[in-house]
Amino acid sequence: MSSPKPEIGFCGLGAMGFGMASNLVKQGYSVTGFDVAPQSLERFKKEGGIPASSLAESAEGKPYYVCMVATAAQAQSVLFEGDKGIVKALPKGATLLLCSTVPSAYAQSVSQQLKDVGRDDIFFIDSPVSGGAARAASGTLSIMAGGSDEALEKGKFLLQEMSDAKKLFIVKGGVGAGSNMKMVHQVLAAIQILATSEAFGLAARLGLDAREVRDKVVRSEAWSWMFENRSTRVLEEDYFPGVSALTIILKDVGIITSTARLHNFPTPLSSIAEQVYFSGLAQGFGPNDDAGMVRMYYPDPVTKVNSTLPKEDASSKLNLVVCMLVGIHLCAAAESISFAKHVGLPLDQLYELAVDAAGGSIMFQECGKQMIEDLKGGESTLVASTGRRLDSIVQDMLAAVEEAQKTKCPMYLASGSLSLLLMARRGGREASAASVIDVWRV
């Protein structure tokens, strides 16, 4: 006879947390959940969950606890807020999973604070998640987990219940490694979300049909998961509120840039993206879907552009949009991989995670592997590569940015990427496209 499943406490029943907690209920667990929104608690009760009237009630007697709040500040409050906090109420030897996206420095501080308050008996796992509300509800999230061997052994079954069988990544390096892995993946996501808007903005100013742009890009080397996903919302103007608020990716890119400063490491494209997102926030776009950032590039709906271009001219301009995205995605791959190396992450694991996740792109798939193998060797081996030459991408980007300048179209990421590509090309005109990684080489 199998032993009964352990009781689980849960805090944070927002879009992602609700799906995660409800999925655990469906898997036969007794889940006691807490949220500050009464409607979320009522909804959770209808799903078979047990609503708690306080944080302490959600944690008392629970051998396992999942924290899925939005920010590090919220996590700090719910975990350590005196006698009312989760940590105080958890039983001896409990396992605590922090699934929120937070800076690795904060995750590491939780471990220290547990010791400081005399609760180092708690097994703590730093385990941010990715995948969206639908995958949360189906238990098929991507999870990046770091912690002690003992904590991971105790909590692995619960991580498996919430994740896709092929998307649970146990990241070596202890607490903080999971958050760092999520962070370097979000380098790709944050850049490629904005690149989608930049591409449609340029296309509109060039007089192109937006639907033809989408069709062309998703079948080309300019494909990214974010472009394919966000472009449908651009075409439908599904921004109010849409699926993923601008403030969410802004929080993530803020983690990237603050951690980069902590490590004295350059993240030029992430920093550009953050500044443009700040501009969108100032325009009141914060609660809107991040696909609505296209309005920073072209004020009217892009689908209202009535293309009258001759077929040959339209094809040439479509290629400029494709080339622009290729250059941005290539530099995004290099920024993500180089940052991962700098913070000591296993690069092969990053590749496995990102190539089939929201940060995936054709350029990451094709050039990321080359970059990783090159970094393992120490010295650059990409100068005389027989693959695609960096110079051809530079020439394409020059043409795209030149055309954008003629139309007075903002090209934040494209201009930044062009500068990086030109710096990389100083290594020689026969260099591989993947040699852009040399810009970050220390």
Catalytic residues: 182
Report the distance separating Cα 130 and Cα 145, nearest Å: 12
CA neighbor of 424 nearest in space, from 391, 388, 399:
391
Contacts of 406 (CB under 8 A, 6+ apart): none
Measured between alpha carbons, how far is residue 422 from residues 263, 291, 429, 435 in Å?
Answer: 25, 29, 10, 11
Contact criterion met (CB below 8 Å) for 163 and 141: yes
32 forms beta bridges with 9, 50
Contact criterion met (CB below 8 Å) for 436 and 424: yes
Rg (CA), the chain: 23
DSSP string, 281-310: HHTT-TTSBGGGGGGGT-SS-GGG------
- Taking every pair of Cα atoms in the chain, the longest distance, rounded to a whole number of angstroms, is 74
Report the distance separating Cα 97 and Cα 119, nearest Å: 15
Backbone phi, then psi, for 315, in 5-degree steps? Answer: -65, -40
